[in-house]
Structure 1
Amino acid sequence: MAKNNVFAIGVMSGTSLDGVDLVYVSFNKYNYIDFKIIHAATIKYSKEWKKLLQNAIHSSKKELNYLDVVYGRYLGNMIRQFMVNYKIDVIDFIASHGHTILHQPEKGITLQIGSGEEISKITKQKVVCDFRTQDVELGGQGAPLVPIGDALLFSEYDFCLNLGGFSNISYQKETIRIAFDICPVNIVLNFYVNKLGFEYDDCGEIAAKGAINHELLEKLNSLEYYQKAPPKSLGLEWVQTEIFPLIDEVEKDVPTILRTFIEHVALQIGKVIHQNNAVLITGGGVFNTFLLHRIQVYAENLIKLPSKELIDFKEALLFSFLGLLKINNQINCLKSVTGACKNHSSGVIFYP
């Protein structure tokens, strides 16, 4: 059986900085939909690393080059320890998303740090990384990247919705795959709840006690991004220039901000998945039960949750799948999703 399977480790660090997700997964070489997550873990960031990654957007090119190497070593050692902890000795490759520091595709800029060369040296494994750069060079957004996995591994769902630092969605429209970032989620909610001394708003309890600031809600919903047609994507820079200043100008009370922003998120998502019950919803935001309740109100549908393993680790799983497609020189980036000039096989491979 094992000879029909490929074994990989997928590595994902999201914009919400919850930690690094790692999965050890097997794929059937001849039928990709036959996959299994064998082991999975989330490694939390230390306060120092979290602060370093949060502030990296302000670093010089020289500092970012250095951080790329140091963070690559950090990931390499983390992956090596993951392999030891779970006694992983059969592995064909590692696929790492890295951590996004800069994402301005309209300027031809995207940067995910975490040197694949360093990861390969430390783990002594083949490494696939840097999945976004080629797409941006081909005129695309470099995001979202997971829709090819949604299409090939989760085709029984009409919509694949992820609630992470940002919410993004993917779905089939006739013969093409459509995908885009809907709006920010945890990258904003966590930022404001941090001011109260909490890492995150557990189940949305603080937000649920807040009041809606209707002026703020209207201004958020009127942002130009929401009028654009896909392909489109969001980054930390957009949140810092468009969202934070707008919120801070209108409202100071944190529970009110959280309550209002959850209403904004629910409304934007609800418009996209309206009255559809075949929605696969994953990502850390799923555990915000108040947010989920408000999404269901606007969507006018019943959201059924998958396994906790899939909720937590779907993106890491899909990056291992993107790595598999790259190694096999198969398309892993869709022009209908990113706006690139052609479908292509993206990523860079490093060998030990």
Structure 2
Amino acid sequence: MKTYKILGLMSGTSLDGLDLCYCYITKGTDQWTFEIIETKSVGYSEAMQGELKDSIYLKADELLQFHNTYGTWLGQQAKQFVLEKKLDIDFIASHGHTTHHQPENGLTFQMGSGQHLANESGHKVICDFRTNDVALGGQGAPLVPIGDELFFGNYDFCLNLGGISNISLEQKGKRIAYDIGLANMILNYITRKIDLAYDKGGELARSGSINQMMLDSLNGLKYYLLPHPKSIGYEWFVEEVAPIVDGTDDRIENLLHTSIHHICEKVAQQIRLNATAKSGSSLLVTGGGALNHFLIDVLQEKLGEHTKVVVPKKELIEFKEAVVFALMGALRMEQEINVLKSVTGAKRDSSSGVLFLPS
């Protein structure tokens, strides 16, 4: 038995803030386990949210400067959290914030300099988990499936509803996973039009109705026809999705209602395509979208009785990704595989992540 005390940091494409999760990751004789000890979410200021959202338009020198200052900010948040809670940590495992994701061009970039984070926090840091996989010809995403395999393998499907929806499952003895498509990214984009960070519980969406023209346009996006492995980023949303939303003249409630039906139909299609158990299957749902009650209701309705939608406790919903990046850090320290070629399409499995020491 070996236990690592890790602070996992996660910032997702929904741009709602930074998740900090202090957890114990234990390597047993035949399995890995986790225990969440302390958590905290730090919301982004309007200015920070805007900077992260618009970072894809920055010049190279401006981008690298922001990379450094954001890394320092991450270090400040980590340091404050450690002091507040009087935590004893072995290292920090940081996902950073994905600003550029173009695996077809051989590049992916996660904002948040590991060296600045380490220097500011005073702790060892493991970060940059995606670059190596992309260098090996992979998508560099999704990465969470290693956690699905080691922590949540008793579910038939693991669905994460962050800014993007992605799914993970076992197929012919191998873990596969891919980005299905839209999730909170489109919902939050719509609510920001009325200066609302998000639609709490999906109540605005529930009161709306379907705009068929918008639904047909979203359903017709070419990405959905691509085979996996595949992944998407914010650039795709800006180029392909935002024009559909902006070009639809309708009430906010209807835009949200339509988007949720689109999200759920695309998820349900993938579940039906991959469901093999005749007696029914289980779907674990985490990420911010799991807190959208209307979305969960629509998803269960579209799936029917064959697949049971399982929504865990709020703590796991919100911090699962941070826990998995903590696990990825532990696997890196053990020099064990933490990125699966069966998921990303890379030439080989890898133990990814770069180590930074404070100075």
Q: Which residue of 1 aligns with 2:199?
A: 201
Q: Quick one: percent identity of the two aligned structures?
A: 46
Distance 1:219 1:290 in 2: 22
Post-superposition offset of 1:252: 4.0
Measured on the aligned residues, the alpha-carbon RMSD in Å equals 1.4
Residue type of the partner of 2:113? Answer: S
Q: Which residue of 2 aligns with 1:268?
A: 266
Equivalent residue for 1:148, pick from 146, 151, 156: 146
Summarize the alignment of residues 1-352 of structure 1 with structure 2, pairs less than 5 Å apart: 4-31=2-29, 32-88=31-87, 90-274=88-272, 276-300=280-304, 301-352=307-358
Distance 1:13 1:54 in 2: 12
Task: Check whether the contact 2:209–2:254 (CA below 8 A) recurs between aligned residues.
Answer: yes
Please list the CA deviations of residues 164-184 of structure 1 after superposition, one character each: whole Å capped at 9, or x if unmatched: 101111000012111001111
Secondary structure at the aligned position of 2:14 is classed as: coil
**Alignment CA distance shift 1:327-1:33 (3 Å):** closer
- Judge which range, 79-88 or 253-262, deviates more: 253-262
Residue type of the partner of 1:332? Answer: N
Distance 2:146 2:165 in 1: 17
Distance 1:28 1:120 in 2: 23
Distance 1:286 1:312 in 2: 9
Task: Check whether the contact 2:332–2:338 (CA below 8 A) recurs between aligned residues.
Answer: yes
Distance 2:246 2:123 in 1: 47
Distance 2:147 2:206 in 1: 34
Distance 2:25 2:353 in 1: 19
Task: Check whether the contact 2:92–2:123 (CA below 8 A) recurs between aligned residues.
Answer: yes
Residue type of the partner of 1:132? Answer: R
Post-superposition offset of 1:306: 1.0
Please list the CA deviations of residues 33-64 of structure 1 after superposition, one character each: whole Å capped at 9, or x if unmatched: 33211111111111221111111111011001
Residue type of the partner of 2:325? Answer: F
Distance 2:17 2:115 in 1: 21
Secondary structure at the aligned position of 1:271 is classed as: helix
Distance 1:120 1:96 in 2: 10
Task: Check whether the contact 2:283–2:308 (CA below 8 A) recurs between aligned residues.
Answer: no
Post-superposition offset of 1:193: 0.8
Task: Check whether the contact 1:216–1:251 (CA below 8 A) recurs between aligned residues.
Answer: no
Please list the CA deviations of residues 287-332 of structure 1 after superposition, one character each: whole Å capped at 9, or x if unmatched: 1111111111111133222111111100000000011111111111
Distance 1:197 1:210 in 2: 18
- Judge which range, 164-173 or 221-230, deviates more: 221-230
Post-superposition offset of 1:109: 1.7
Task: Check whether the contact 1:269–1:299 (CA below 8 A) recurs between aligned residues.
Answer: no
TM-score (norm: length of structure 1): 0.96
Distance 1:324 1:46 in 2: 31
Distance 1:77 1:203 in 2: 31
Distance 1:136 1:7 in 2: 29
Post-superposition offset of 1:279: 1.3
Question: Number of matched residues?
Answer: 349
Please list the CA deviations of residues 62-102 of structure 1 after superposition, one character each: whole Å capped at 9, or x if unmatched: 001100110000000000000011110x2111100000111
Post-superposition offset of 1:272: 2.0
Task: Check whether the contact 1:333–1:343 (CA below 8 A) recurs between aligned residues.
Answer: yes
Secondary structure at the aligned position of 1:210 is classed as: coil
Unaligned stretches of 5+ residues in structure 2: none
Secondary structure at the aligned position of 2:167 is classed as: strand
Task: Check whether the contact 1:325–1:331 (CA below 8 A) recurs between aligned residues.
Answer: yes
TM-score (norm: length of structure 2): 0.94
Unaligned stretches of 5+ residues in structure 1: none
Task: Check whether the contact 2:131–2:140 (CA below 8 A) recurs between aligned residues.
Answer: yes
Post-superposition offset of 1:277: 3.7
Secondary structure at the aligned position of 2:308 is classed as: coil
Task: Check whether the contact 1:166–1:181 (CA below 8 A) recurs between aligned residues.
Answer: yes
- Judge which range, 169-178 or 31-40, deviates more: 31-40
Distance 1:4 1:129 in 2: 21
